[in-house]
Amino acid sequence: MLMFCPCLFTVNFDPADTAKVQREMYTALKGRREALEEILKKRTEELKLLCIKEGVCTCVPLFYHNLNFNI
């Protein structure tokens, strides 16, 4: 049986360090979000072009090629 003894752990939080870590995490997550949004934009454009090519191959009328695929 594993016993937990709170006396073995001492944690000191400095509010300045906590705020700094939060800012760094926010900046990292914001950068990751922007990167993912860029990838999503690129993939959406690729999918749109693929749908248009498939429409051409299946003789879908040209009218449908001009539809806006934005969600």
Please give the model's pTM, rounded to 2 decimal places.
0.58
pLDDT tens-digit readout, 5-62 = 555 656 666 778 888 999 999 999 999 999 999 999 999 999 988 988 887 788 766 5
Which uninterrupted H or E stretch holds 19? Answer: helix 15-57
Contacts of 69 (CB under 8 A, 6+ apart): 44, 47, 48, 51
**Residue among 62, 41, 40, 39 nearest 52 (CA):** 62
Can you tell me whether residue 62 is helix, strand or coil?
helix
